[in-house]
Amino acid sequence: MMEELLKENISIETEPKSKTVIIQELGNRLCQSGYTDQAYTDAMLATEKMYETVVGFGLAIPHGQSDTVHHSGMAIMAFPQGTIWDDQIVKMVIALAAKERDHLRMLTDIAIVCSGQEEVNQLACSSIDTIAQAFTAKE
């Protein structure tokens, strides 16, 4: 079974970028790691035009409605100084590629780890290892 979060898919201390560039970079990582096809990046960009993906607490979770997900996984960019996403400041962006059966569980896991503004801010200033551990720690 493939890990849902690879350390090489986590970027920390990221300089602010446009949300389109962020989604393209995270989508490319998901594709290069074998989670998705390149078409999934286009699906994430299309979803972004239709729905708000900022979920609060300085967190955005771009995702796509696509059958090009091979394995459930995610890619993360942390912005300790924040970056503008629509009209809000986000500190973390988690690109989610989930097989249907994993979607709700993965969102629940993210909600537990990123349960408030303080948690998101702390995680955004953490090391790659700390972020990886937060999302891969099992009960």
* pLDDT tens string 25-79: 999 999 999 999 999 999 999 999 999 899 999 999 999 987 899 999 999 999 9
Residue 1, domain member (yes or no): no
CATH of the domain at 90: 3.40.930.10
Catalytic residue list contains 63: yes
Give the count of beta carbons closer than 10 Å to the beta carbon of residue 93.
Answer: 28
Which segments of the chain are extended strands (E)? 10-11, 54-56, 59-60, 73-85, 88-97
- For residue 19, give its domain range: 7-134
- For residue 129, tell me if it sits in a domain: yes
- Which one is catalytic: 63, 70, 71, 103? 63
Residue 139's pLDDT band (cuts 50, 70, 90)? very low
Answer yes or no: is 2 within a domain: no
- Of residues 131, 66, 58, the one with CA closest to residue 98: 66
Q: Is position 106 within any domain?
A: yes
| Domains contained in the chain, number | 1
Rounded Cα–Cα distance for residues 55 and 24 (Å): 19
**Predicted model pTM:** 0.95
